[in-house]
């Protein structure tokens, strides 16, 4: 259900964007709105980590194992993608880039 919500929101946004229904004045601030939402989201996610006693109390016991598993998972997923998907997307920034 959640996936459907996300797809619907992106589709509504795409429709608004393609039909130029978003006010021109606010269009220029789209990047700013995205940044505000992003930092808010990351801050709330950080808060969620901070209030999780489970993470802090178990950190020493299982933290190292978790770190090793996530490290190898990340490294090998990058290597496998690098090898097999070289030409799927361009790595050159487009003119519509967000400029960060």
Partner 1 sequence: MVIKIILSIIIGTLLGYNFRFDFLIENIDYLIDLGLCLLLFFIGIEIGKNKQIFLDLKKFGYRLLLLPLAIVTGTIFGGFISSFFVDMNVFETTAISAGLGWYSLSAIELSKYSAVLGSTAFLSNIFRELMAILFIPFIAKYIGHTETIAVAGATSMDTLLPLITKNTNSSTAVISFFTGVVLSFLVPILVPFIIGLS
Stretch 30-49: interaction string toward partner 1, x if CB under 8 A: x--xxx-xxxxxxxxxxxxx
Stretch 53-82: interaction string toward partner 1, x if CB under 8 A: -xxx-xx--xxxxxxxxxxxxxxxxxxxxx
State which of residues 1, 22, 24, 28 lies at the interface with partner 1 (CB under 8 A).
22
Determine the 3-state secondary structure of 9 from DSSP: helix
The total number of residues shown for the chain amounts to: 100
Residue pair 30/38 in contact by the 8 Å Cβ criterion: no
Q: How far is the CB of 48 from partner 1 (least distance, A)?
A: 5
Tokens of 39: 């930092």
State which of residues 1, 5, 24, 60 lies at the interface with partner 1 (CB under 8 A).
5
In angstroms, how far is the first alpha carbon of the chain from the final one? 33
């Amino acid at each position: 259900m959640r996936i459907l919500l996300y797809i619907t929101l992106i589709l509504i946004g795409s429709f608004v964007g393609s039909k130029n229904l978003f006010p021109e004045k606010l269009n220029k601030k789209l990047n700013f709105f995205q940044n505000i939402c992003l930092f808010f989201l990351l801050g709330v996610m950080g808060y969620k980590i901070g209030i999780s006693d489970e993470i802090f109390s178990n950190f020493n016991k299982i933290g190292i194992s978790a770190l090793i598993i996530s490290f190898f998972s990340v490294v090998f997923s990058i290597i496998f993608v690098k090898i097999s998907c070289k030409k799927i997307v361009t790595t050159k920034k487009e003119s519509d880039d967000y400029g960060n």
